[in-house]
Structure 1
Amino acid sequence: MPLGVRIFLVYFLFVGLTGYFVLSTVMDEIRPGVRQSTEETLVDTANLLAEILRDDVKNGTLGQSRLPELLRAYGARSPQADIWGVRKNAVNHRIYVTDVHGIVLLDSAGQALGQDYSRWNDVYLTLHGKYGARSSRENSDDPDSSVMYVAAPIRDGETIIGVVSVSKPNRTLQPYIERSQRRLAWLGAGLIVLGLLVGGLLSWWLSGALRRLTRYAQAVSEGQRAELPRYRGGELAQLATAVERMRVQLEGKAYVERYVHTLTHELKSPLAAIRGAAELLEGEMPGEQRARFVGNIAGESQRLQQLVERLLNLAQVEQRQGLEERVRVPLRELVDALLQANLARLGGHPLENLIGADAQVLGEPFLLRQALGNLLDNALDFTPAGGLLRFSASRQGQAWRLSLYNQGPSIPDYALERLTERFYSLPRPGSGRKSTGLGLNFVAEVAALHGGELRIGNVEGGVEAVLLLPAA
Structure 2
Amino acid sequence: MPLGIRIFLVYFLFVGLSGWFVISTVMDEIRPGVRQSTEETLVDTANLLAELLRDDLRSGRLEQSRWQELFRAYGLRQPQAQIWDVQKNSVSHRIYVTDAAGRVLLDSSGESVGQDYSRWNDVYLTLRGQYGARSSREDAADPESSVMYVAAPIRDQGQIIGVVSVSKPSRTLQPYIERSQTRLAWIGAGLIGLGLLVGALLSWWLSASLRRLTDYARQVAAGERTSLPALRGGELAQLGQALQQMREQLEGKAYVERYVHTLTHELKSPLAAIRGAAELLENEMPAEQRARFVGNIQNESTRLQQLIERLLHLALVEQRQGLEEREPVPLRVLFEELLTSQTGRITAGQIEVDNLLDDEQCVTGERFLLQQALANLLDNALDFTPPGGLIRCSAELQDGRLLFSLFNQGEAIPDYALPRLSERFYSLPRPGSGRKSTGLGLNFVEEVAALHGGSLQLVNVPGGVEARLSLPLETPSK
TM > 0.5 between the two? yes
Cα displacement string for residues 133-171 of structure 1 (whole angstroms, at most 9, x for unaligned residues): 222222334332221112334455655544322110112
Aligned twin of 1:270: 270
1:329 aligns with 2:291: no
Corresponding residue number in structure 2 for 1:16: 16
Cα 1:118–1:447 shift into 2, 3 Å: same
**Using the alignment, how far apart are the partners of 1:118 and 1:389 within structure 2?**
123
Alignment correspondent of 2:62: 62
Q: Distance in 2 between matches of 1:354 and 1:466?
A: 14
Q: Distance in 1 between matches of 2:59 and 2:369?
A: 113
What's the CA shift for 1:303? 1.0
Q: How large is the RMSD of aligned CA atoms in angstroms?
A: 2.5
Matched residue SS, 1:91: coil
Query: 2:241 maps to which residue?
Result: 241
Matched to 1:415, the amino acid is: A
**Distance 1:372-1:76 versus aligned 2 partners, 3 A rule:** same
Provide the C-alpha distance between the structure 1 equivalents of 2:193 and 2:63, rounded to a whole number of angstroms: 62
Equivalent position SS for 2:69: helix
Count of aligned pairs between the two proteins: 472
Pick the aligned partner of 2:382 from 377, 380, 393: 380
Structure 2: how far apart are the matches of 1:337 and 1:64?
125
Partner of 2:169: 169
Which range moved further: 166-175 or 99-108?
99-108
- 3-state secondary structure, aligned to 1:413: coil
Q: Which amino acid aligns with 1:266?
A: E
Question: 1:128: how far off?
Answer: 4.6
Q: Give per-residue Cα distances to partners, 1:324-375, cap 9 Å, x unaligned.
A: 3333333233333433444444445443332223322232333222211211
Q: Which residue of 1 is the match for residue 473 of structure 2?
A: 471
Please list the CA deviations of residues 76-114 of structure 1 after superposition, one character each: whole Å capped at 9, or x if unmatched: 233344444434332211012233444332211112223
CA, structure 1 residues 99+448, in 2 after alignment: closer, same or farther (shift >3 Å)?
same
Flag the 1:79–1:419 CA change in 2: closer, same or farther, 3 A: same
Relative distance call for 1:277 and 1:34 in structure 2 (3 A) is: same
Q: Is the aligned partner of 1:50 residue 2:50?
A: yes
**Distance of aligned partners of 1:258 and 1:48 in 2 relative to their CA distance in 1, 3 Å threshold:** same
CA–CA separation in structure 1 for the residues paired with 2:190 and 2:325: 48
Does 2:465 align with 1:459? no
Q: Alpha-carbon deviation of 1:215?
A: 2.3
Q: Does 251-260 or 185-194 show the bigger shift?
A: 185-194
Indicate the percent of aligned positions where both proteins have the same amino acid: 74
Measure the CA separation in 2 of the matches of 1:244 and 1:88. Answer: 72
SS at 1:56's partner residue?
Answer: helix
Cα distance, 1:441 vs. partner?
A: 0.8
Following TM superposition, by how much is the alpha carbon of 1:115 offset from its aligned partner in structure 2, in angstroms? 3.0
Query: Would you say 1:180 and 2:180 are equivalent positions?
Result: yes
Return closer, same or farther for 1:330/1:66 CA change in 2, 3 Å cut-off. farther
Q: Find the aligned partners of 1:74 and 1:360 in 2 and give their Cα distance.
A: 94
State the secondary structure of the residue aligned to 2:416: helix
Partner of 1:366: 368
Alignment of 1:122-161 (within 5 A): 122-155=122-155, 160-161=160-161
CA distance in 2, matches of 1:440, 1:381: 13
**2:333, 2:98 → 1: CA distance?**
110
Partner of 1:256: 256
SS at match of 1:465: strand
For the residues of structure 1 that align with 2:116 and 2:445, how far apart are their CA atoms? 111
| CA distance in 2: counterparts of 1:222 and 1:73, whole angstroms | 93
Question: What corresponds to 2:299 in structure 1?
Answer: 299
Q: 1:150 to 1:329 in 2, by over 3 A?
A: farther
How many angstroms apart in 1 are the aligned matches of 2:55 and 2:336? 116
Q: Quick one: structure 1 residues 108 and 391, their matched pair in 2 at CA, closer, same or farther if it must change by over 3 Å?
A: same
Alignment partners' CA distance in 2, 1:47 and 1:301? 119
SS of the aligned residue for 2:417 comes to helix
State the shift of 1:194 in Å.
3.4
Q: Relative to structure 2, which stretch is displaced further, 399-408 or 117-126? A: 117-126
The alignment partner of 2:420 has SS state of coil
Are 1:423 and 2:425 an aligned pair?
yes
Separation (CA, whole Å) in 2 of partners of 1:175 and 1:435: 95
Q: Distance in 2 between matches of 1:174 and 1:337?
A: 91
TM-score normalised according to structure 1 size: 0.91
> How far apart are residue 442 of structure 1 and its match?
1.1
CA shift, 1:271, in A, is 0.4
Query: How far, CA to CA, are the matches of 2:379 and 2:257 in structure 1?
Result: 29
Looking at structure 1, the residues matched to 105 and 363 of structure 2 have their Cα atoms a distance apart, in angstroms, of 102
Distance (Å, rounded) in 2 between the aligned partners of 1:42 and 1:356: 96
- Which residue number in structure 2 is paired with residue 104 of structure 1? 104
Unaligned runs of 5+ in 2: none
Q: Where does residue 445 of structure 2 map in the other structure?
A: 443
**In 2, Cα distance between equivalents of 1:92 and 1:357:** 94
- The residue type paired with residue 210 of structure 2 is L
Distance 1:347 1:95, change over 3 A: farther
CA distance in 2, matches of 1:50, 1:340: 118
- Looking at structure 2, the residues matched to 56 and 388 of structure 1 have their Cα atoms a distance apart, in angstroms, of 131
- Give 2:319's aligned amino acid: Q
Query: Residue by residue, what CA displacement relative to the aligned partner does 1:4-28 show, whole Å, maximum 9, x if unpaired?
Result: 2322222222222212221221121
Q: Matches of 2:168 and 2:473 in 1, distance apart? A: 81
Residues 298-307 or 42-51, more deviating: 42-51
Question: What does 1:204-223 correspond to in 2, within 5 Å?
Answer: 204-223=204-223
Q: Give the 5 Å matches for 1:184-195.
A: 184-195=184-195
Say yes or no: does 1:202 pair with 2:202: yes
Equivalent residue letter for 1:435: S
- What letter corresponds to residue 389 of structure 2 in structure 1? G
Q: Which moved more, 1:419-428 or 1:362-371?
A: 362-371
Per-residue deviation, 1:212: 2.3
Which residue identity does 2:71 align to in structure 1? Answer: L
Structure 1 distance, partners of 2:63, 2:331, is 111
What amino acid is the match of 1:465? Answer: A
1:118/1:452 CA distance change after superposition, 3 Å: same
**Greater Cα offset, 11-20 or 135-144:** 135-144
* Superposition deviation, residue 415 in structure 1: 1.9
Give the superposition deviation at 1:402: 0.9
2:230 maps to what in 1? Answer: 230
- Structure 1 residue runs without a partner (length 5+): none
- TM-aligned CA deviation for residue 266 of structure 1: 0.6
TM-score normalised by structure 2 residue count: 0.90
Equivalent residues in 2 for 1:345-360, closer than 5 Å: 345-348=345-348, 349-360=351-362
d(CA) in 2 for partners of 1:337, 1:103: 122
What letter is aligned with 2:448? V
Give me the whole-angstrom Cα distance separating, in 2, the residues matched to 1:39 and 1:95. Answer: 14
Per-residue CA deviation, residues 189-235 of structure 1 (Å, 9 max, x unaligned), is 34333333333333333223222222222222222333322211322
Match of 2:411 among 399, 409, 412: 409
Other structure's SS at 1:293 match = helix
